[in-house]
Amino acid sequence: MGNALRWLIGIPVAAIVTVGLFILMTVLISAEFEPEEKVDTATFEINPKVEDIKVIERETQIDQVKKVVTPPPPPQIERAQADKPTERIASLEGAVPEFETPKIDRGDFKIAVSDRDAQPLVRIPPIMPTRAEKSGHCKVRFDVSPEGQPFNVNATYCTSSVFERASIKSVEKWKYNPKVVDGRNVARSGVESQITFRLTDERGNIIPE
């Protein structure tokens, strides 16, 4: 009894698994084989024939065109023609009347041109300096040439030094009628003028000096 028990315990597990698989395969092979039903195969054509599409034609009946009668042309109006003149156009011929040249004594009259001071013609406004923080003005003094051009421009007083250069540049672009003395253009010295700068804020209000 003890030997038999030892023999059973010594049988490896792999042998038991092998015997089980063998029995299972035997049962499956002995079962009857039943073939599956045949599935109908689908058929299709690669290049099927396309049937012609019948075009529906619309029957249109054209009414008979009526004959158009052209109206007669408008009647011609006779225009009256003027008769050509038969008489010649009279021409007047005459001589230039004679007259005596008046005698003028040059010593009896004298052309006098009134004297005048230099007069402004063109005044270019100044450019507001970018560094200006408020409004201001400058007083300038300059001379005017016989051609009416300002020169020797100097700023005698400015509310702020930022306006000085802009004032001088502006006056140098001005144009004057020159001073006239005894019918001749002469230079004019000591002309004075004031240049005003108006600076406004974002609302358009003038910032005072």
Write out pLDDT tens, residues 128-175.
999 999 999 999 999 999 999 999 999 999 999 999 999 999 999 999
pLDDT averaged over the chain?
Answer: 77
pLDDT for position 21: 79
pLDDT-derived band at 76 (thresholds 50, 70, 90) equals confident
From 142, 141, 136, select the one nearest 163 (Cα to Cα). 136
Quick one: average pLDDT of 77-90? Answer: 68
pLDDT for position 68: 72
pLDDT for position 51: 59
User: CA 187, CA 142: separation in Å to the nearest integer?
Assistant: 11
Q: C-alpha angle with apex 131: 129 to 137, nearest 5 degrees? A: 55
pLDDT for position 127: 92
Buried b (16+ CB within 10 A) or exposed e, 52-63: eeeeeeeeeeee
Evaluate whether 112 touches 181 at the Cβ level (below 8 Å).
no
pLDDT-derived band at 120 (thresholds 50, 70, 90) equals very high
User: CA 198, CA 193: separation in Å to the nearest integer?
Assistant: 16
Write out pLDDT tens, residues 7-48.
555 556 566 767 777 777 776 766 555 655 655 555 556 555
State the amino acid at position 86 in one-letter form.
Answer: T
pLDDT for position 208: 92
Q: In which residue are the tokens 């195969």 written?
A: 41
